[in-house]
Amino acid sequence: MSIDYLRISVTDRCNLRCVYCNPLGESGFINHDEILKFEEIHRIVRLLAGRGIRKVRLTGGEPLIRKNVTELVKKLASVEGIDELALTTNGILLGEMAAELKDAGLDRVNISIDSVGRDNYKDITGFDFLEKATEGLHKALEVGLGPVKLNSVIIKGVNDSAEQILLLAGMSLKLPVTVRFIEYYPTGNNTRPAGDYVPNGEIKKIIEGKFGQLGNIINGKSDGPASSFKIEGSAGSIGFISGRSSVFCETCNRLRLTSDGKIMPCLYSSQQYDLKKLIRYEATDDELLEYFKMILDKKSEYTKLTSTSSDFLMQDIGG
Ligand code: SAM
């Protein structure tokens, strides 16, 4: 599998406190000096484009709370070889920022909305911001930051009622969005127990019970590990990302870059490569390229089956 996708966490800070991600607001304490500067991120992307990276996603924490993030988008959009620049956000600030992000060269967004019930959304995120997130979604569609995907993590006893799942799936009926159900992956302390994940097979059954059998659709270029389906006659589609109940290591095409400059080749491994250290010790481009080659060569050694850690916060590594 060629590695052509880089996910970059641009900040570990977030304006929500999701129960499955970072409910107590821990982290957010990485010193500003330790966070990669825009010039450093730009250099990494420029060099990795020379090693085959074609798609970049900005994530976090919440990427839209990183000061002047639009400037970063502008810089990355002009890197030769990058065909797609995307961003994953909770959508809260998208209403006010979508147009400037589009103008700066952002291609598309994924928006995390785990429930479309106002109280339920508040229970999950800690904030009464569903309306703002929905406004962000509509603005993204309006300015053409599509295809837009909605990410939902379903947690047992929190947002797993058939009613909420059907409301989420139903968003794809009229809107040209892909509603994606992502299986919960247990991470650092104080998040939910591993057993609180709901297998996507159960979610699919609930959706089919109401809307009839889902039609299988061929994955698009941007669908990654999702399996994609459609409710008959709908404007959008439905995706399932089943990182717990299935293994998709053979099709994994990504690297992750943490906000403090470490490369993580695999979500299921604690192995990190400290790129920032090299950069700040003034490594040359050639030295960095050698380092990337070593990481890329080793990537296939890490798989879910050799899993060593889930002792991190998703907020630090960007999902
Ligand atoms: N703040 C942005 C957002 O809310 O989308 C970007 C960061 S968030 C960490 C990126 C993605 O990771 C979101 O879609 C979120 O639902 C997902 N995520 C976070 N914690 C997760 C977990 N423990 N298991 C599965 N997905 C998780």
d(CA 232, ligand 1 centre) in Å: 28
310 pLDDT more than 60: no
d(CA 318, ligand 1 centre) in Å: 7
Tell me if 90 CB under 6 Å of ligand 1: yes
pLDDT (average), residues 182-186:
91
Name beta bridge partners: 59. 9
Tell me if 129 CB under 6 Å of ligand 1: no
Tell me if 11 CB under 6 Å of ligand 1: no
Tell me if 292 CB under 6 Å of ligand 1: no
pTM metric for this prediction: 0.95
Q: Which two tokens stand for residue 284?
A: 């040359």
pLDDT (average), residues 34-59:
97
Banded pLDDT at 271 (limits 50, 70, 90): confident
Annotation: CATH topology of 5-316: TIM Barrel (3.20.20)
Check whether the bond before 186 is cis (ω within 30° of 0). Answer: no
Domain ranges of the chain: 5-316
d(CA 282, ligand 1 centre) in Å: 33
Tell me if 27 CB under 6 Å of ligand 1: no
The separation between CA 141 and the C-alpha centre of its own chain, rounded to angstroms, equals: 18
Banded pLDDT at 306 (limits 50, 70, 90): low
d(CA 319, ligand 1 centre) in Å: 5
Ligand 1 nearest-atom number relative to CA 60: 7
Closest by CA position to 295, among listed 53, 61, 78: 53
User: Which residue has better confidence, 29 or 71?
Assistant: 71
pLDDT (average), residues 160-186:
96
